[in-house]
Structures are given as C-alpha cells and as structure tokens.
Structure 1
Amino acid sequence: MNTELVTRPRALERKVQGRAVMEGAGVKINRALTQSLQQRLNPFLMLDAFKSDDPQDYLAGFPAHPHRGFETVTYMIAGKMRHKDSAGHEGLLENGGVQWMSAASGIIHSEMPEQENGRMEGFQLWLNLPAKEKMSAPWYQDFKTIPSVVTSAGVAVHVIAGQSHDTKGLVEKEATQALYLDLHLPAGSEFTQAIPAGHNTFIYVYRGDVEVEGSTVNSEQLAIFANEKSSDGIRIQSPAASRVLLFSGLPLDEPIVQYGPFVMNSQEEISQAVADFRAGKLGQLQS
C-alpha cells in the first residue's frame, strides 16, 4: 500500500534565494527563510543553513543569548556543536543528530563548536508556538539518530518531525502538525508526500537540483508550494542525485510579533520579554 499516494500535486508558487548573514559571534549563514516570509510560511519562522570547511567561518560560534516564545530545531549534517542552557541542559550535537529546544517562557543558551578544523554543516529551524504554550516551561532533547525509511523509488526519508511513509518522526507537534523531512533522492527518482490542503509547505534544496512540476529548483534555493484546495500533496523529481529538506505545517491563526530572539503575539508581550531579560528573569547561563 502506498500511504503517500498523490494524484493532484501542488504547483510551485515561487522560488526564494537565501540571504547571506552573520550570526552569533561571526558565523556565516545562508538565511533561507527570512522574517518577510513568516506570515506566508506560518508556523515556520526562520530557516538558517550553515556550511563551511573554513574554521574561521564557524569557530566563534553562538555565545550565550536568550529566546522566548518559539522552538529551535538544529540538525547537524557534519561537525560538533556543544549546547548549554540556563535550565541546566547540556548536549553535544554531532553528525546526523538533532537538537530540539522549546524556549517557551524563556531560556538563555549557547551553541559552541567543539572542533578546530574540518567541515561544519547543518540547519536551524525556528518553529512557532501557539499563544497558550509560549509561557510554558522550557524543554530540550538531543536525538542521536533519526527514524528513516527507503521508498520503493529508492528515496531515503529521514523523519525529524511528523510522519512519512508509515514512519513516525522524532517529535510530533499537536498544534502545528509540523512535518520535517530530510530526503536523499537518487538520480532519476521521484518522491511524493500527502499533505493536507491547508498546510503551508516548502522545500530547501541543499545538494543538487530538483524538478517541481516542470520548474527547476537549484541548490541553496527555497521553494514554496501553492496552497490549492484541490491538491492532495507534493511531488519532487530528481534528475541527478540530490538532497532536500521538506517542511509542512498547520498555520497558527495568531499574530506574529518578532523582536530579535523573542517571538510573541503582541508588542506588549515583546516589551515584557525584553524587560524580563534585562532584569535577569530569563535565568543565567550555567557553567
């Protein structure tokens, strides 16, 4: 039985080129999902891709900084990064691992490289929290391995969140129904995924190029799928070997107000977050 049968695939709405930015203490990043796309791709707030063989691009890392109101999902392809936070959590993120952190009511954390040479490559996704969960207790979990399945077309599907081809991911989110897949597509293969019509959906290509309904999506491009009520999913074709991140989720019907590392539902809540941080109410990073 093909649990991801798609007969009316979504069209491609548009392609977006990432923006080069510097984050942390000077880490070079490709910001694929920027703040201007938050409403369109709600509940996803940001997607950063980092990749370099030059230690000077990543050694400075991300010293202690605060967050409130959303979750971060960090996926490491290559390299080692040490996480520490004000709630007492600590973990080493390594090749193929995932770190899921719910900042919720507030946390201060650092993410620092534990390597002095070699490649560092990975992604950080910001996923919004519903208003009722924004002031809940922070949560953190390290995952060393990701559930995976190989489709009949030979596509290796790594399921970070949600469910695909009868395989459940590391985390399932009730409010946003977030789907996060890492797809490894061999040359000449096709991948389909059933997706509810109301869910916002996009891909980020990080190796090779793929075809989506007659349009080529190049490496380091983000592509947004149209929300069509008559469609039942998406289809990706890969003429040559490629790797693609697929994201889909149920939009939160709530305002999005962001100020730096804080994402809330009103300007008043943002002002309170800033005041709480300045007053030390978000906690102090433990050594």
Structure 2
Amino acid sequence: MSLRPTLETRRASPALEGAGVKLYRAFGFQDPSELDPFLLFDDFRNDNPADFEKGFPWHPHRGIETITYVLEGTVDHADSLGNDGSLGAGDVQWMTAGRGILHQEMPKGNAAGQMHGFQLWGNLPSDQKMTAPRYQDITSADIPVVTEDDGTRVKVITGEFWGKKGPVDGIAADPQYLDVTVPAGVKKTFRIDTYRRAFAYVFGGAGAFADASPPAGVLLEKEIAGEEVNIRDMSGDRTLIRFGTGDEVTVQAGPEGIRFLLISGAPIDEPVAWHGPIVMNTREELQTAMAELRNGTFIKPAH
C-alpha cells in the first residue's frame, strides 16, 4: 500500500453565482486538468435566506454532469424536458446534461432558514458529450451508510466502499463519492483506486491528513487518544485537500471529530474548451453551442 501525499491544502473562496447566491468555491474555472475529471466544486451554505433564495434561474448546460447533494433545506428544480421536483435534506441529484438541457435550481431554507448543499461538476468524455440528457434523483433513504466499531460513518453516494454500493450508476468517470464522519481522536485510513484523481473537502470539525501542509491557524497542541497532535496541522471547515497518487488516504480526527467529502474519479485526459456552463473539447464545438443557444436550436429532440 502507498499513502497518497497531499499536493495542496487550500480554503474555499467566496463567490457569487446565479441570481445572487452567496457560496464558497473550492475549485473551478481554472486549470481543468488539476482534478480531471472534476471541473468545479461549490459549497452553498448560508443562514440568511436573502443570500440564497433568488437561486439559479433558467440556464443551459452541455457536455458535463452536475451533482447536487443537499444537507439542509430543499432545492426545487425544473428543466426543459418537463421534469420538476424537489431535493430534500440528504438527497442527491446526478444530472447528465449531455447534448444540452435548460434547467433551474431554487434553494429554500429549512424551518430555521438555513440552507446547505454542494454542487460538483464532472466532465464528460468526447464520445458522451452529445448523449441524451438524464437525471438520477436519489433520496436520502436510498443511500447506504456504513458504520465502523470506532464510530466512523460513511455514506456511499456512488461507487463501492466497505462492501456497500452507492445507488448512482452509469457515470462516465466511474467516480467514488463518500460523505465521511470520523469521531474525535480516531485515526482512519481509506482505500482509493491508484488510478483515480482524488480530493477531500472538509465541512465539519477538523483533522490532519497525511502530508498536510499546515495552514495558518491555532498554534496549540492537545492530547488526542494518547497522541500529541499539532492543531496547526489540521484542516478545518471549507478546506480542500488535493491528493497525489497512491492507494490510501489517512486522516487523524481532531478534538471535535471531522466530517468531509472524499471524492475520486478516473481522469479523462482530453482537451477542454470551457465557457460558463458549457464544456466541450474544441473551440469550434463551443462556438456551435453558443450559436445554437442564440438561434433556439440548443435543445435537441429525443431520438
């Protein structure tokens, strides 16, 4: 076994999207090869409805897949194919835009006015860029959860892990998408296929990932499960950890435990031509898509 080194640890940055939704972006619209096959990751978390209720009105997508995972509140959605529905707490929607779709996503807070969710964009290979659009709406009850004796808890959204298989299937990048909770003081190792690109995104508590570069922060040491752990080495809320090659990721949970997403996928290794919500392989394909948006032929009939 080989431990994956940490290539980079960075905080997500504030961003404004849709009709004025305040969110935090961990990566996106930079180097698409960095986390190929993944293009963008947003954390939309807010306690103020005014900062998210205007939502993401009608907009196009082509050539990608969008993965929405809701933790708190709901997201109402509708599209140009006539689909509509609502994602609740713990639900997942995996949308394959393929050759083109227009849709809208309108977040609503829970009873306390809180909204929290994530959206990940996955690229499609060239031979699937113009496939028929489709949705996979997965309720929280259908997502398997594995709990270890030490209290570690993993929700398996897609891929196989610890004997469980996630309900989302038929995805081009054959990804593994896990929601991981490790209790205070527990050190845990997770297997990841060597040939996948991988990242973690911390959204609760804190922990030290192997080889993590220390971010600026609290300069304290605490006794955790009999071991000295330097708190400054710990990655906390809204932190992205990008891993190098290897087949294992190890995390030491901090004094309040840690919760993070652990996501990996097979790189596509193809050219990327990207403009907003449309991702193709060539500039000519991108220009065609933009022209079709202008002349009303972007949405293709079913065949």
- Please tell me the residue identity of whatever aligns with 1:203: A
Shift of 1:77: 0.4
CA distance in 1, matches of 2:206, 2:239: 9
CA distance in 2, matches of 1:233, 1:125: 22
Shift of 1:233: 1.6
Distance 1:37 1:147, change over 3 A: farther
- SS at structure 2 position matched to 1:278: helix
Question: Within the alignment, does 1:192 sit opposite 2:189 as a pair?
Answer: yes
CA distance in 2, matches of 1:234, 1:244: 12
Residue in 2 aligned with 1:4?
none
TM-score normalised over the length of structure 2: 0.87
Residue in 2 aligned with 1:23?
17
Question: Within the alignment, does 1:133 sit opposite 2:128 as a pair?
Answer: yes
Which segments of 5 or more consecutive residues in structure 1 lack a partner in the other structure? 1-6
Shift of 1:96: 0.5
Which segments of 5 or more consecutive residues in structure 2 lack a partner in the other structure? 213-233
Question: Within the alignment, does 1:245 sit opposite 2:261 as a pair?
Answer: yes
Report the aligned-residue RMSD.
Answer: 1.6
Q: Deviations over 1:1-42 (max 9, x none)?
A: xxxxxx432111111221211100000010101222421100
Shift of 1:80: 1.1
Aligned identity (percent) is 41
Question: Within the alignment, does 1:182 sit opposite 2:176 as a pair?
Answer: no
Q: Deviations over 1:99-154 (max 9, x none)?
A: 11111100000011345861000000001111111101000121112221112332
CA distance in 2, matches of 1:115, 1:247: 26
Residue in 2 aligned with 1:277?
293
Question: Within the alignment, does 1:225 sit opposite 2:234 as a pair?
Answer: no
Question: Within the alignment, does 1:36 sit opposite 2:30 as a pair?
Answer: yes
Name which of structure 1's ranges 113-122 and 208-217 shifts more when overlaid on structure 2: 113-122
CA distance in 2, matches of 1:194, 1:114: 36
CA distance in 1, matches of 2:257, 2:294: 49
| Structural mapping, 1:84-233, within 5 Å | 84-115=78-109, 118-145=113-140, 146-173=143-170, 175-213=172-210, 215=212, 216-227=234-245, 231-233=246-248
For the 8 Å contact 2:72–2:117, the answer to whether it is kept is yes
For the 8 Å contact 1:195–1:233, the answer to whether it is kept is yes
CA distance in 1, matches of 2:94, 2:85: 11
- Higher CA-based Rg: 2
TM-score normalised over the length of structure 1: 0.91
